[in-house]
A = this chain, B = another copy of it.
Amino acid sequence: MRKLRVAAAQMGPVAKDESRAEVVQRLLKMMRGAAEMGVDLVCYPELALTTFFPRWCIDSKDEFDLYFERELPGPETRPLFDEAARLKIGFYLGYAELDVSSGEKKRFNTTVIVDKAGRIVGKYRKVHLPGHKDLSTVGGTAKSGHVVNNFERRYFELGDLGFPVWRAMGANLGMCICNDRRWPETFRAMGLRDVEVVMCGYNTSAVSARRIGNRETLLPSHIGMFHNHLSMQAGAYQNSTWVVGIAKCGREEGHDLMGGSCIISPQGEIVALAHTLEDEVIVADCDLDECEIGKGGMFNFDRYRRIEHYRIITEQTGRTSPPAAG
């Protein structure tokens, strides 16, 4: 049995005026709690260091640079790295990345894996960016206030690092962020790289509303949580991997975010579940050898996958219409 003890460190809301230092203290408190339980790897949400600022659409993106990290670790985040090294605990953290290495500002919705020595061993940039660039594409539902707006496409570039998997802390580790979890390609791309633990932080509205044509369709309020779990459970089962989902949740600046942080076994079952909308640590012992039940059996990719019939998946982005039968 190759065991990795994993914690999901769910976060309650982060206020707009909450300082980075205050947030880091909250993260440190959960890290210490996890370390006391012998946790190897503690996982934080998407954009964990600030409020979920992409809910607002402002004229100048630069105004929001205060929400971005120019370096990681930086002065305000270094205590996390130092404490991780001291406690010998790894972590996964989401943050807004401002990359000026090319001479111009590039912004990404990013997560990193930090090992037990406090070193960054992997970086991921969100591939499936939801939301809008500006108000022109916002539909009636959002305008009427039922949906929390999302302007991630205004602030972030599309992730450019793909879906790598790293061997670290004795496990094959992969990352994705929020909306990525709804796309089976996310999990499959990592499954093909033999991932054993996928970490996915999220900030997801607790309100469900969709437009259908000109009709406004308010879906039942439970549907968002159902989709959250369904996507991650299917990704876990179909790729025989542990999945850790970590929410930032609760009422944040007047907007309700869902909780439901969870740890999911390679059989797709939720084995640990957060039950509050606050800072809350849940833990599970992940037996990495359990991945082989699927990887060596039902989901022996080499034996069963038929890539000659999958070509449309990478040859075509959007949908096409089928021919009339007969």
Q: Which residues in A have some Cβ–Cβ distance to B below 8 Å?
A: 113, 115, 119, 121-122, 127-130, 158-159, 162-168, 172-173, 179, 182-185, 187-189, 191-195, 210-213, 217, 219, 223, 226-227, 230-231, 233-234, 237-238, 267-269, 289-290, 292-299, 301-302, 304-307, 309-326
B293 contacts A163, CB within 8 Å?
no
B322 contacts A172, CB within 8 Å?
yes
Partner pick for A323 among B167, B230, B267, B322, CB 8 A cutoff: B167
**With the chains together, A194 CA to B310 CA distance in Å?**
15
B237 contacts A231, CB within 8 Å?
yes
A189 contacts B312, CB within 8 Å?
yes
Q: Chain B residues with Cβ under 8 A from A217's Cβ? A: 293
A194 to B, closest residue via Cβ:
B319
Given the interface pairs A268-B226, A305-B183, A307-B316, the reply to whether A322 lies near B212 with Cβ below 8 Å is no
Chain A interface, >50% SS class: mixed
**With the chains together, A226 CA to B317 CA distance in Å?**
31
The 4 closest A-B pairs by CB, nearest first: A302-B318, A234-B234, A184-B184, A121-B325
- Chain B proximity of A139: nearest CB distance (Å): 8
Given the interface pairs A316-B307, A325-B122, the reply to whether A238 lies near B233 with Cβ below 8 Å is no
A-B contact pairs, 15 of them (CB 8 A): A115-B325, A127-B309, A128-B304, A163-B309, A168-B325, A182-B298, A182-B299, A184-B184, A185-B188, A185-B305, A185-B313, A192-B313, A192-B318, A223-B269, A311-B314
Q: Chain B residues with Cβ under 8 A from A226's Cβ? A: 268-269
Q: Chain B residues with Cβ under 8 A from A238's Cβ? A: 182-184, 231, 234
